[in-house]
Amino acid sequence: MLDSRLDHTHDAAALSWVASANDPATDFPLQNLPFCSFRRAGSLEPFRVGVGIGDQILDLTGWGITDLNAVMARPSAERRALRHRLFDTLKAGAPEVELVPQAQAEFALPCRIGDYTDFYTGIHHARAVGKLFRPDNPLLPNYQWVPIGYHGRSSSIVVSGTKLRRPKGQVKPPDAEVPVFKPSARIDCELELGLFVGPGNALGEPFGIDDADEHAFGLTLLNDWSARDIQPWEYQPLGPFLAKNFGTTISPWIVTMEALAPFRIPFTRPAEDPQPLPYLDSPAHRADAAFDIDLEVWLKTPSMTEPVCLSRSNLRHAYWSLAQVLTHHASNGCNLQPGDLLGTGTISGPTQAESGSLLELTVGGKQPITLPNGETRTFLLDGDQLGLRASAQKEGFRRIGFGACDGVILPA
């Protein structure tokens, strides 16, 4: 099935007339072509739909494309045709057109996000966090049967570079009889990817697992900021609330599913684990529904000149696939819409060094991280900049990057 997803736009030998796109280190070679919403920095121009190429942006206004949600709503065949047209416009030998340097642009959220659901697909994260909250029962019995998710706030999703204020909330210390309302002292990150929905489905009309790819538009980096001292007091019995919705940061770039086709890998489950129910399983799904995408967490404190990488993980560690969370979300007839955002949940690997949150890296704050300059951290302090990075690499194909997903914590 994988070979049928590949075409000339994945040819590693193809070059662009944009010199920076041919740099092996670029996130945005000709084979990527991610979408964004941008305008010239300092201007009052309306935001426009753009495509990243090297360190430049192609403005799609002249193409009659003024609404990325409308592009998302198109069938996959039309989206592939647009990719082919973009590729042909930017490949070496094509007539050069005017571009906007990314360094001279400011970015908005890439599209209108009507709804936001965050899932919990990282089983290593679920087990590690479960041990902290429920030592005798770390993995709840439904986890391996149903993709767990909660409805988040789309209104507090912000683009990379946005500064977030430390939230206040109810905290109940273990030895206290009553909770107190105070600034959170345990601000954490969550290393995630976000899946943007494509055409979607009508209310009451679910789709099958083998049709899920039609409804997947692309991926972005996502940091689901978390207040870990507010979270345990409020999350029972209905789940996450104010500990999560004070801010969610995403990259300004959406990397399309077409660009990621070379990095699909088989979806597998340990033989001893429960296998997915039939509506979440098929031979075609098992063949290539997972993805090999490297993920990283970076930290820069106010006294550091360069950021340091805290951990590395990979989307291959997700227990539920992107197709499964899409299919499950719509399985009761819920109507997904173009531009809806589905978070993967924290993607941690099997070792502590592959943790996607500070909660795991510091074992609940009990083992501080020592940084190269001698500073230590358990959770984020005011002024800290937390960044996520991601890329997909495979021999015989160009490296595909996701851009930056950065945020800074301001005082409460």
Q: Which residues are catalytic?
A: 125
Q: How is residue 318 annotated by DSSP?
A: B
- What pairing do the DSSP bridges indicate for beta strands 105-108 and 405-410? unpaired
Structure tokens at 355: 């943790």
Q: Give the single-character DSSP code of 248.
A: E
Task: Give the whole-angstrom CA distance, residue 115 versus residue 341.
Answer: 6
Name the residue among 190, 67, 54, 177 with its Cα closest to residue 118: 190
CA dist 167 and 228 (Å) reads: 11
Angle in degrees, CA 375, 377, 378, rounded to 5: 160
Quote the Cα angle for 131-137-143, to 5°.
Answer: 95
Residues in the chain: 412
| β partners of residue 233 | none
- How far is Cα 318 from Cα 325, in angstroms, rounded to an integer? 11
In sequence order, the β-bridge partners of residue 196 are: 218, 341
Rounding to the nearest 10 degrees, give the CA dihedral for residues 291, 146, 357, 242: 130
Burial bucket for residue 114 (CB in 10 Å: 0-12, 13-18, 19+): middle
By the 10 Å C-beta count (0-12 exposed, 13-18 middle, 19+ buried), 316 is classed as middle
Take residue 119 and report the two structure tokens written for it. 């899932």
Cα distance between residue 52 and residue 334, in whole Å: 33
User: CA dihedral defined by 247, 152, 260, 297, rounded to 10 degrees?
Assistant: 40
313's CB contacts (< 8 A; 6+ apart) are 191, 294, 295, 296, 347, 348, 349, 354, 355, 356
